[in-house]
């Protein structure tokens, strides 16, 4: 009687141990299969053109957040934190590549990084001073990326994590806020630096962070240049005396930046081992869209869908930024601009399609397109 009990007990315990071992093996294996299954990763850095909700989780203000309606109304049916009525350029790229929409680094349930992570933060700039205290600066985004590379090394081992990181695509939209913030905060920084000096400082900080990311194993860099910053609904109203023309000083800063950006990328390609870039000409494509909205199926190229005042340029969309009153258009897909500074899903979708078009197109500057990067190379 006693003997039988012991034998049975032993049987259970062996069964249980085998079960446990199988469970452990399949878990370790499970994560590896996840990785091998798709083998495509997109890491995203930058500002509100690419933030998919990181600012929902930081101590900031509603000026740097979009986690309230009508943000998100078109596609998600709830506000995800994206500064649009729906998806962003990076979301459409993820769809082209057939990976899940890349989740924000700070999203609490985001704990698998095999297909990439989104580090972008609305309001962020290359300079730490830009909207300091309300955003995750570009440098900090690179530190967060370093944490993810450590996690990947633990999970996959050194060789496989290296392969993942060097095959992955890295997308950037950074710099706009470095130029917008002096105009929006009445800072006098542009009185202390010439335009070329200020651009050199922004580019210098951009470059040192890019080098950090490269040092961690990144090779394929996709960069959006700066849009025509003086022609956003929110910047048209700054000095126009009611005319609503573009704020030339801001658009000119963006152009100087974009020229310097191209030059520095060519330089990095010479300096850094394995570094490749694809520079998406966001500036030229968006300018064309603003000036010829009908060609893209839009009715409105200059005014925002959501906001108040002339061009709906006052940043009041959602009524949570101090000003409760705001207007909202019925059909966001008829406008290029969603709010004072950001585009509609419909505009982002068309820009993503332009970005995705094959090599030799007029939308990308440099030898590669993002599509080349995702195909084996």
Which positions touch ligand NAG (CB under 6 A)? 59, 127-129, 201, 204-205, 208, 331, 333
Of the candidates 178, 340, 342, 346, the residue annotated as catalytic is 342
The residue behind tokens 């580090």 is 119
Phi, psi of 285, rounded to the nearest 5 degrees: -65, -40
Phi, psi of 355, rounded to the nearest 5 degrees: -65, -35
Least distance in Å: CB of 139 to ligand NAG?
A: 9
Nearest one of 229, 257, 55 to 137, comparing CA atoms: 55
d(CA 305, CA 56) in angstroms, rounded, equals 23
Nearest one of 227, 61, 210 to 132, comparing CA atoms: 61
Residue closer to ligand NAG by CB (options 346, 369) is 346
| Strand positions, DSSP E, 81-124 | none
Least distance in Å: CB of 311 to ligand NAG?
A: 21
The residue behind tokens 């910047």 is 235
339 labelled catalytic: yes
Residue closer to ligand NAG by CB (options 81, 309) is 81
Of the candidates 47, 85, 285, 339, the residue annotated as catalytic is 339
Least distance in Å: CB of 126 to ligand NAG?
A: 8
342 labelled catalytic: yes
Least distance in Å: CB of 275 to ligand NAG?
A: 18
Residue closer to ligand NAG by CB (options 147, 331) is 331
Q: Which residues contact 205 (CB under 8 A, 6 or more apart)?
A: 126, 127, 128, 138, 139
Least distance in Å: CB of 232 to ligand NAG?
A: 22
The residue behind tokens 């769809």 is 95
Residue closer to ligand NAG by CB (options 294, 376) is 294
Residue closer to ligand NAG by CB (options 55, 205) is 205
CA distances from 261 to 8, 155, 317, 332, 369 (A): 72, 35, 32, 32, 17
48 labelled catalytic: yes
Which residues does the annotation mark as catalytic? 48, 339, 342
């Amino acid at each position: 009687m006693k003997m039988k009990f012991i034998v049975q007990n032993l049987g259970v315990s062996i069964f249980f141990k085998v079960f446990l071992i199988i469970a452990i093996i399949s878990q370790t294996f499970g994560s590896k299969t996840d990785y091998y299954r798709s083998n495509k990763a997109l890491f995203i850095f930058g500002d509100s053109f690419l933030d998919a909700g990181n600012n929902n989780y930081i101590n900031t203000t509603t000026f740097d957040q979009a986690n309230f309606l009508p943000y998100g109304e078109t596609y998600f049916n709830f506000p995800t934190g994206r500064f649009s009525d729906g998806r962003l350029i990076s979301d459409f790229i993820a769809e082209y590549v057939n990976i899940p929409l890349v989740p924000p680094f700070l999203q609490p349930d985001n704990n698998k990084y095999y297909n990439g992570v989104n580090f972008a933060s609305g309001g962020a700039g290359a300079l730490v001073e830009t909207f300091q205290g309300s955003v995750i600066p570009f440098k900090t985004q690179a530190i967060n990326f370093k944490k993810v590379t450590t996690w990947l090394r633990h999970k996959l081992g050194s060789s496989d994590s290296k392969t993942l990181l060097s095959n992955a695509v890295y997308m950037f939209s950074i710099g706009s806020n470095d130029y917008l913030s002096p105009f929006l905060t009445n800072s006098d920084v542009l009185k202390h630096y010439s335009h070329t000096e200020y651009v050199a400082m922004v580019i210098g900080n951009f470059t040192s962070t890019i080098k950090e990311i490269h040092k961690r194993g990144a090779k394929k860099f996709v960069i959006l240049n700066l849009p025509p910053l003086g022609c956003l609904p929110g910047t048209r109203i700054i000095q126009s005396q009611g005319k609503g023309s573009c704020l030339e000083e801001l658009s000119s800063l963006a152009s100087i930046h974009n020229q310097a950006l191209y030059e520095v990328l060519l330089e990095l390609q010479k300096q850094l081992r394995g570094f490749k870039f694809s520079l998406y000409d966001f500036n030229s494509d968006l300018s064309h869209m603003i000036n010829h909205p009908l060609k893209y199926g839009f009715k409105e190229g200059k005014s925002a869908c959501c906001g108040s005042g002339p061009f709906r340029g006052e940043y009041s969309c959602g009524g949570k930024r101090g000003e409760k009153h705001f207007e909202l258009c019925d059909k966001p897909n008829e406008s290029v601009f969603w709010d004072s500074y950001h585009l509609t899903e419909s505009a982002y979708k068309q820009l993503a399609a332009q970005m995705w078009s094959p090599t030799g197109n007029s939308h990308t500057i440099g030898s590669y397109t993002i599509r080349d990067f995702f195909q084996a190379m």
